[in-house]
Amino acid sequence: MLAGDRVFRIHWMPGSDTLLGVCHCGAERSAEEPVELWDWLLSHPDGHHAPHPIEPAPEELRIEVSA
């Protein structure tokens, strides 16, 4: 396994034909063939949006919505 800071990975998901591309920026995309996936990975950062966990908004910014 490579340990550099700029490593692109494509995992062939076991039991399927699906490939999962993972960019070093954290962005992910799945595809059914590798050409499209390399095109997307190597175009970093174009179209790369790292999946961020959705956190609740701070208390002071919350708006009460009445039913």
- Closest contact distance (angstroms) between CB of 39 and other proteins is 10
User: What is the distance, to the nearest Å, from the Cα of residue 3 to the centroid of all Cα atoms in its chain?
Assistant: 18
> How many CA atoms, within 13 angstroms, populate the side-chain half-sphere of residue 1?
5
Which range of residues in 35-43, 47-55, 58-66 is near other proteins by CB under 8 A? 35-43
Q: Of these, 25, 26, 30, 42, which contacts other proteins (CB under 8 A)?
A: 42
Which range of residues in 1-9, 45-53, 56-64 is near other proteins by CB under 8 A? 1-9
37: enclosing H helix or E strand: helix 34-42
Nearer to other proteins, 3 or 61 (CB): 3
- Residue 20, phi then psi, degrees to nearest 5: -115, 115
